[in-house]
Every structure is written in C-alpha cells, then in structure tokens.
Structure 1
C-alpha cells in the first residue's frame, strides 16, 4: 500500500493516533513503515507532490485556523498544505470522496510489484539506498501473505514503480503560444497603463486650469472632448453668503493617521476600489513627502466620463473661494476636525458638504456613536476581505455624485 492510501485508511478508521514518528520514519501501528520525506500521490495545485510528513501534520491540525496552521508548520520546518488544497484534501482523507483530480496513479495497472524480500525487522535500515517504503507483515495474514512468518517485511521500492506524467519542460509548454507572444502582450499592457496614468495627470491639470465660467455652454469641460472622453459638468456649488464656487470640486480628508482614509491611500481606494492601510502606504512611500493635493477620478466605472476631484487634508490652507468648491469630507469622528471651519455648526456643514465616515465592519459601535448624531454616511469595509473594497468605493462615488447633482440644481 502506498503512503497516501495508508494515511487515508487510518484516517477513515479513526486510527491516526496509531501513526507514530520514530526518527525519520512514520510507523502505522504494526502495519506499515514509511520514510517521513516519502512523496505521496497527492499533487498540489502548485504542481508538487506533498510529502507524507506534510499530509500527516495537516490531517492532525486541519481544525486549526489556516494562518495559525501556517505559522506552526513554519516553526516546525514542515512544508504546509496550501489554502486551495485544504478542503479537497480533507474530503479525500476523511473518505467523503473516493478520489479527485489531484491524486496521481503511482503504480500502473497490471504492473508487477517490486521484489519481496524476507528479513528480520531488527535488520531493517531506513537509510538503505533506493528504498522508499516498507510494509510490516504480521502472522494474521494481512495482504494475503499467509505463508510469511511473524515479523518479516515485504519491501516495496515505490520510487522504481513511479512513472512520470510531466517533466519540467512539458509543464512550460503552452499550445499555440510562446513566451515571445506573452512578453509582447505584457509589454503592451504596461505601455497602456503608463499612457492612462499620464493622461489622468494631464486631465487633472487641465481641470484645474479650466474654470466653468469660461464655457458658454453651461460650464462643461471641453478638454475632455479633445482627449476623446465624454465631457462632464463641473458643478457650481451655491453657498449662502458667498459667491458661486467654480472649478474642480474638493474632497477633504483628515490629516490624522488613525483614520482609515488619508492622503496616502485615498487614490487607490477611490480610483481602484482597493483599501491599503496608511501604515503600509507610508512604508511604500518612505522618503517621499506627502502631497498637498491629490487628483482622483472615477475611472473604474463603465462610463467613459472624466470626473476630476481634488483631495486635500489642510482645511486651514483653503481660501474663501476654495471653500465654495468643497463638496465632501471624510470625517474622523472628532469635534476638533471642524475647528475654524467657516460654518456655524454641524447642521450647516453637512447640509452643504456630504460627509463620509469610514469604519471596519467589526469595530465597536462606540467608535461611531458621535458620528451617528451627524448627517453623515457611514461606509463599512472588511479588515481582511479586500475584494469587498470595490463595493464600498462605489457606494462613496454614487452618494457623492448624487449629492453633487442635487447641489448643482439649487
């Protein structure tokens, strides 16, 4: 019996406790002995065969959280089972499925099993070259060898019986494709990415120069048409007691690092729909000064619309006419954030500016207790499920654009 089948048999029978490691080998009760480093017939999705030691450690620790399991396996210097392989491997070892695509046939059908050598168990030496597994036969007739005396070993050379299915070169082969074609495609994608980033920077600069009052058709941004995009209006924000604000709308974010959205990560969140913590971004930008202004656009929607916004975190640097362009603010949840703002209270602030409060979905209610008293939209994201960030970013954009449209008609 091969190592994988033996482990499955003991798992189904509930006899895992009978598998004992002695030195560099595993003893399966009085039935089998295999080297701990023996390769099994279970191939990972990464293409390598799992060793017996890896599978035994996993089946004994499958209930442990994956991150903790990886850390423990690394500490004990045992190769780990990857996350995609965990469930199908567990189902097979526990007998819930009879087979799966990851299992390879090591012993060909109708092939002759290796030579059988009778020997005393004390005379067995695991370091014997060319030996990949042994089976201990007892006098109870296990395996149909009733004629063998008690304490002899049927020695099977599993390495000699293995047949290669793929080699390194065949794994690298792709039908109708070559690496030159892949390289060309990757180069084109990189050039397109750089072109788009350059275009977006240009769009932001043009938006800053073009004021709504210079357009006789209602303030539409003509430059967008020149660049091949559909133009979108930059709204006029009517604010009581001040002139009409014209130009690129402004979004304010807190300068405090304890908030989720800052000048460091706002671009990735609003443009790409991906949340990266401020700490991580600060490490990536080590030695680079924090920008005073960041231009963001809603570029991951299907609409070919250029909507440029300026993001700033220094309200004290805004001029009176700049405040007329402020359309949104990410709130910290602290009163002092609004000190010296040109508004009389929170009611006026969040009547003329839409507020967003970003929080982790499992944070305590107390963290948003004060914010719930304000007219602010609470946006929750997961600490670990990054694929959910896009939905949160889209919710910010949808609410922001709806607010801007409503303000442009007042």
Structure 2
C-alpha cells in the first residue's frame, strides 16, 4: 500500500457494528425492561395493525393518561332557605322531597348537606339522579352555580346576599324558585314580586298525629311534591341537563 494512503487511513475514525455503537463492547441485558413494560403492554387492545399503531402512539405520548374514564355528570344542587320561618329545612326536606310527606322541621343540629334521589324519565329512566341539598352557598366554588336547579325561599331578601345573583328577580331568571306555605294563606307580596319563575305551593297545616283525621290531611303532600319536581325538571331540561351532561353556564 502506498505509505501516504496508509497514513490517511490511520487518521480516520473507525466505525463499529451495532453492538459496539449501541451497547459497547459488552452486550447489555435489557430483559428487566420487559417487566416494566408488561403492565402497559397488557392494556394494549388486540386487533389489527391500526389498533397497534394507535396503542403505540398513546404509550409514547405522556400527555395522554392511561385508562381515562369519561367525565361523570355532576349532581344538581337545590338551595333551601336558611330562615327559621321556612317550612322546609334540612331536618325535614328529605322526607318531603323524597318521601312525599310533610313533617315540621325539628330543632336538632341539622346536617350541612343532604342527598335526595329522583327518577327523571326524560333524562335517565333506569337510574335515579342524585340532588344535593344545602342551605347556603358559603362553600361554593364559582362553577357550582351552574349546578343549581332550584332555590326555596320565604321571600326574605337577605337570603340572597351571598348568592351569585343578589337581586332575586335576576336570580329567578336563571334558577327555578319555590315558595312553600300553608294552605289557605297567601304568599308574601315579596314572593309575588319575584316573578312567575317562583312556584308558590302550599301544604295542609300541621296537626298533631294524635288528633282525629290528622293523617288523612296529609294525602295532598305528595301532590304538592310532584308539582315542585315537575317545575324543577322543566327548568333542568331548558338549561341543558342531560343523562350524561350538565350545563356549563346558566
């Protein structure tokens, strides 16, 4: 060989094969990677090459979480009046709205939150919808207001001071209002001034169960409850509540 050419060859960088380039001179055992990857590979759906390509793209993209579950529809919220004069409080709301029977509120320490269930056939005929009952929005996050479907009121304006809409007329443009009073008594003038979106309904005055005919006077309670739910459900449908979705704004 020409001495000059041999000198040039000696100055070249020598290229190795795949073992020396990727693993060095000593072969490396990557079998432990199989154990780490097995939990991900087991979740990969079986199918054609299209399914394999889709799974590969997901596993290679850290921004796509594995086993993502569809978002659950949030529970609608009903606000009760915190007024001591309200006929419906946390202590008797469940028996009335879910059981269809009115009993007067007691003076025990009430829970801060209740849940009642109701089948709404237009939305989900097979599974009851859970409604959350609270007396005030003090612990509300801003987005919770999109879940409010009804507000019970006695007509006292101070109830709305901490609401998103402090003006009751504006409030009841967005939310169904309910006033519950005694049968034979007119709703307060303030309630009538709130507008037609406040449903005024009444129950028979409470009588001691030991009195003759007391229980027979309660047969209309369920009729009143059904009229309340009918108004609430109509408002929900108008606002965009569906089987698997809730409105993003009311």
* TM-score normalized with structure 1 length: 0.36
Q: Output the CA distance in 2 between the equivalents of 1:342 and 1:362.
A: 33
> Post-superposition shift, 1:361?
1.1
Q: Does 1:362 align with 2:194?
A: no
Alignment: residue pair count: 160
> Post-superposition shift, 1:344?
5.4
Q: Does 1:339 align with 2:161?
A: yes
Query: Is the CA contact (8 Å cut-off) linking 1:271 and 1:299 kept in structure 2?
Result: no
SS of 2:98's partner is: helix
Partner of 2:171: 349
Distance 1:344 1:381, change over 3 A: closer
Partner of 1:321: 143
> Post-superposition shift, 1:324?
1.9
* TM-score normalized with structure 2 length: 0.58
Query: Is the CA contact (8 Å cut-off) linking 1:257 and 1:278 kept in structure 2?
Result: no
Cα deviations by residue, 1:361-381 (Å, 9 ceiling, x for unpaired)? 122x3x421101113110111
Partner of 2:115: 295
Q: Output the CA distance in 2 between the equivalents of 1:360 and 1:299.
A: 27
Q: Does 1:371 align with 2:191?
A: yes
Q: Output the CA distance in 2 between the equivalents of 1:300 and 1:383.
A: 29
Q: Does 1:253 align with 2:80?
A: yes
Distance 1:278 1:362, change over 3 A: same
Partner of 2:223: 391
Distance 1:359 1:214, change over 3 A: farther
User: 2:134 aligned to 312, 330, 351, which one?
Assistant: 312
Q: Output the CA distance in 2 between the equivalents of 1:269 and 1:296.
A: 10
1:77-226 equivalent positions in 2, closer than 5 A: 215=70
Query: Is the CA contact (8 Å cut-off) linking 1:250 and 1:328 kept in structure 2?
Result: yes
> Post-superposition shift, 1:345?
2.3
Query: Is the CA contact (8 Å cut-off) linking 2:157 and 2:168 kept in structure 1?
Result: no
Cα deviations by residue, 1:25-53 (Å, 9 ceiling, x for unpaired)? xxxxxxxxxxxxxxxxxxxxxxxxxxxxx
Q: Output the CA distance in 2 between the equivalents of 1:214 and 1:369.
A: 49
Q: Output the CA distance in 2 between the equivalents of 1:344 and 1:265.
A: 26
SS of 2:192's partner is: helix
Query: Is the CA contact (8 Å cut-off) linking 1:272 and 1:299 kept in structure 2?
Result: no
Cα deviations by residue, 1:200-248 (Å, 9 ceiling, x for unpaired)? xxxxxxxxxxxxx953xxx6x6xxxxxxxxxxxx4xxxxxxxxxxxx11
How big is the alpha-carbon RMSD for the aligned residues of Structure 1 and Structure 2?
2.4
Query: Is the CA contact (8 Å cut-off) linking 1:381 and 1:389 kept in structure 2?
Result: yes
Cα deviations by residue, 1:242-262 (Å, 9 ceiling, x for unpaired)? xxxxx1110000122210111
4+ residue segments displaced more than 6 Å: none
**Larger RCO (CA within 8 A; separation ≥ 6):** 2
Higher helix share goes to which structure?
Answer: 1
Q: Output the CA distance in 1 between the equivalents of 2:69 and 2:169.
A: 33
Cα deviations by residue, 1:51-78 (Å, 9 ceiling, x for unpaired)? xxxxxxxxxxxxxxxxxxxxxxxxxxxx
SS of 1:371's partner is: helix
1:269-280 equivalent positions in 2, closer than 5 A: 269-279=96-106
SS of 1:254's partner is: coil
Q: Output the CA distance in 2 between the equivalents of 1:272 and 1:372.
A: 28
Q: Does 1:401 align with 2:233?
A: yes
SS of 1:314's partner is: coil
SS of 1:316's partner is: coil
